[in-house]
Amino acid sequence: MAMDAAEIERLIKESIPDATVVIEDLRGDGDHYAAYVTAAAFAGKSRIQQHQMVYQALRGKMGDELHALALQTAVPQES
C-alpha cells in the first residue's frame, strides 16, 4: 500500500509543528519520496538526531507503507 505525500507531510508537522516540509514523489509511484524538512527544533542536534526525529514522526510507516525516503534536514537560517 502506497503512502500519500500529504500524509507524510501531515505526520511530520504533527510531531514537529514548526517544520517546513517539502515532499517530492521521485518516481510517481507513491513509494519513493524525497523530503526536505527545515525546523528550529533541529537546532543543536546532529544530522542523525534530526533524521531520527523525522522517522519517529512517521510512526513506523517506513519500510511498510513508505518504501523509500531520501531525507534532507536543516535548521532555518536566521535573518
User: Could you give the CA distance from residue 76 to residue 31 in angstroms, rounded to a whole number?
Assistant: 28
Q: What pLDDT, on the 0 to 100 scale, is given for residue 62?
A: 76
| Domain residue ranges of the chain, discontinuous segments joined by + | 5-74
User: Could you give the CA distance from residue 43 to residue 68 in angstroms, rounded to a whole number?
Assistant: 25
Q: What CATH number should be reported for the domain whose range is 5-74? A: 3.30.300.90
CB 40 within 8 A of CB 76: yes
Q: Residue 33: how many CB atoms within 10 A of its CB?
A: 21
* 8-57: pLDDT as tens digits: 999 999 999 999 999 999 988 778 899 999 999 999 999 999 999 999 99
User: Could you give the CA distance from residue 44 to residue 64 in angstroms, rounded to a whole number?
Assistant: 31
- pTM attached to this predicted model: 0.88
**In the predicted model, is pLDDT for residue 76 greater than 60?**
yes
* pLDDT band at residue 1 under the 50/70/90 scheme: low
Q: Which residue has the higher pLDDT, 4 or 72?
A: 72
| Ranges assigned E (strand) in the chain | 20-25, 32-38, 68-74
